[in-house]
Structures are given as C-alpha cells and as structure tokens.
Amino acid sequence: MAVTLKEESILNEWSMIVDNAAGNGRWLLDHIKARLSASNFPGGCTWELEEVKSSGFFAKVRREFLIVSLDQFHDYHMYIGVRDYGSHLDCCRFLTVEPGFLKKWASAKLTGAADALSAPQNILVHQDLRAWVTVVHHCVVDSVDALLKNLSMDPKLLQRGSKGFLEVW
C-alpha cells in the first residue's frame, strides 16, 4: 500500500532538474543512502524506499521516494525523490510533519493548529531537529554535486538553498 504525501504536511522543500542526466537515478539514490549511512545520526535514523501517492480521493500518480525518519522526531519525515523527466533527472526533497490522528485532533483542540504538539518544545530539541534536517539535506545536495562532477557538469549550477520552515542554506 502506498504512503500518502499530503501537501499541507510539507514544511520545507528543495528541488532541482539536472539537465541530460536521465538514467542516473539509481546511482544518485545509492549515493544518498551511502551518505546517510556515513552520517552516523544519533537517535535511530532509518530510511526505506516506498511507493508514495499524493493526497486526494482520485490520486492516481504514484512515485518511489526514499523516506528518511528519525526516532526522536517520529512525526517528521524527509521524502527524497529522484526520477527521469524526459532526458533530465528531477531531484526533490520534502520535509513533512505528520502527527497521528489522535495527536492531530488533540493539538487542533488545544492549540488551534493540528501540528503544534509535534513542534520542538525547547530550543535544544529544535537544534536537534534542525541538525537532522540540515545533515539529510546535505546528503542529498552533496550527492547531486557528485553526480554533476561525474557527468563533467559545472557544480556551480547546483541550487543549495531550500524553501519553508527550518530553511537550510
């Protein structure tokens, strides 16, 4: 069964098209996984390839994403997608917050925001979340950088910044 990626759960995103790089998706995902493994995250970081669909009753589009999670922040997930787009390679990364039904309901009742109880409760926990997001982001971006170099492309073309909550520069 496919995991549902809901647009309203996305806090932060990054994307880039690598020109004329179709066919390199598996290499890039393997490189990202190797960098994740080498990062030695504290707190039980795991990743798995999953079929993902968009939300909506009639959602028919499904794609494979590498979903990265950290036990310490079980409501937060990083979706990493790599796919051929014509002769190009479409690379993206989404940070989501996805509290369970009861937590979402209680949060909405108590605070008016469905994900408020999932937010870091102090600055040091926020620092841990930001560190995890930043390191995963760098695993993705540095892997795309390595691909550009492999393809004899200028790595200055690489867009490093992201958009949204917990922005990474």
What pLDDT shows up at residue 1? 74
> Is 30 among the domain residues?
yes
**What pLDDT score was predicted for residue 169?**
43
- Rounded CA gap, 5 and 7, in Å? 6
| In a domain? residue 166 | no
> Do the domain assignments include residue 104?
yes
Q: Is residue 94 part of a domain?
A: yes
pLDDT at 96 over 50: yes
Contact 65, 82 (CB under 8 A): no
Domain span including residue 38: 3-159
Indicate the pTM of the whole model. 0.89
pLDDT of residue 117: 66
| Tally of CB atoms within 10 A around 137 | 23
Number of compact structural domains in the chain: 1
pLDDT digits (tens, 9 = 90+) for 49-90: 999 988 777 767 899 999 999 998 999 999 999 999 999 999
Note the pLDDT of residue 167.
Answer: 54
pLDDT at 132: 94
Using CA atoms, how far apart are residues 60 and 103, in angstroms rounded to an integer? 28
Mean pLDDT of the chain: 88
Structure tokens at 107: 């949060």
The pLDDT confidence band at residue 105, using thresholds 50, 70 and 90, is: confident
Does position 151 have pLDDT exceeding 90, yes or no? yes
Which of 130, 93, 131 has the alpha carbon at shortest distance from 15?
A: 93
Strands 88-97 and 163-164: unpaired
3-state class of 117 per DSSP? helix
| Residue 165 confidence (pLDDT) | 54
The reply to whether 165 falls in a domain is: no
- Going by pLDDT thresholds of 50, 70 and 90, the confidence category of residue 164 is low
Provide the pLDDT for residue 162.
Answer: 64
Tally of CB atoms within 10 A around 95: 25
Give the per-residue pLDDT at 155. 82
8, pLDDT greater than 60: yes
- Does residue 121 sit within a domain? yes
